[in-house]
Amino acid sequence: CRAAACAHSSPVARGTVAQRPPDFVSLTDIEPTIVLELRYYGSHNFTGRPVLGYKEPKCLLTRRAALALKGVQEDLRPFGLGLKAYDCYRPQRAVDTFVAWAKDFGDNKMQAEFYPRVPKDRIFREGYLLERSGHSRGSTIDLTVIPLPLPNQEQYNDGDKLRDCGLPAKDRFGDNSLDFGTGYDCFDALANVDNPTIGVDQKSKRVMLRALMQKHGFKPYAPEWWHFTLQDEPYPESFFDFVIE
């Protein structure tokens, strides 16, 4: 999710914390069957390049959040389904990079896919990005649901033709997840969980995912169907900046 989606309602944190707490774990160590497609480690994201702070394709989370996700995965497994994570802990330096990107109106490399209906000069003003992200607290995750066995995943290469994230699934980037109505990180009203224009099937999938995540202690963020934060997060006022390595 983008920084705005991760904003916290409590007062701004006292400051950024450089050290990794001992209870941050790799999600793969807790639940190795959750698939990772960490978009900010590579270039298939709204900036079009690997993001500062992502040195390894690891999903780091607080142990409490990782164990809750293990419970979600266990509930999905009997139905031939599983989770795929797009982003987990996000260093503050990555958030700073996003803010700088949003202010560079000349960089529209990825607009055709990720924000085709939102002029870039409105992205920051309308709150798509803020200077703090809940991902930096370590208990927020962006994810989707995949069918099992896992279908092939389309690979993105720099320079590939971009496809509008709000198009029908057959016309947008070939993600191997279930169809939730938009692609990941779609800066668009279509990504809202309750958008009235999406199909019944896509809406029912969003409701299913939200209910399952809430069952295991996560709270959703209505404008982004993929974004969830642990309700009882251990560091509600701390924003970390250690590198993912």
Report how far residue 88's alpha carbon sits from residue 66's, in angstroms, rounded to the nearest whole number: 10
Q: Is the pLDDT of residue 98 over 50?
A: yes
Q: Which pTM does this prediction carry?
A: 0.93
Q: What percent of the chain has pLDDT over 70?
A: 93
Q: What is the DSSP letter of 244?
A: B
**How many helices (DSSP H) and strands (DSSP E) are in the chain?**
6, 9
Strand positions, DSSP E, 42-139: 60-62, 81-87
Average pLDDT over residues 51-72: 98
Strand partners, 218: 230
Report how far residue 90's alpha carbon sits from residue 239's, in angstroms, rounded to the nearest whole number: 9
Taken as a whole, the chain contains a residue count of: 245
Q: Is the pLDDT of residue 155 over 90?
A: yes
With contact defined as beta carbons under 8 Å apart, do 223 and 5 qualify? yes
Report how far residue 68's alpha carbon sits from residue 73's, in angstroms, rounded to the nearest whole number: 9
